[in-house]
Amino acid sequence: MNDLLQMRIFGLLTETSQEITNEEMQNAYGEFIKQTRAVSNGNDYSSIYRILTATHIELASLETSSLYGQGEKCA
């Protein structure tokens, strides 16, 4: 189930360094999309749903944690 959550894009999104290039982020995103498509091609829909839901929760948590401490309200 952690196939998507272990991908490089999550490491880059949580990275605080400013040394990440656009090309590096684009490549990580492309890998993420390919893996998402591979996961979605299965026939076990309950497993696909769990994987995509866990990934959605992780992305939502990254979105709100980036706002933490910046004086902005979280949606």
Mean pLDDT in residue range 49-65: 82
pLDDT at 68 over 80: no
Amino acid at 63: E
Retrieve residue 14's tokens: 């949580």
Residue 17 pLDDT class (50, 70, 90 cuts): confident
The answer to whether 31 and 8 have CB atoms below 8 angstroms apart is yes
Mean pLDDT in residue range 5-26: 83
The CA-based angle 41-47-49, given to 5 degrees, is 85
What is the distance between the alpha carbons of residues 22 and 13, in angstroms, rounded to a whole number? 12
Mean pLDDT in residue range 2-10: 79
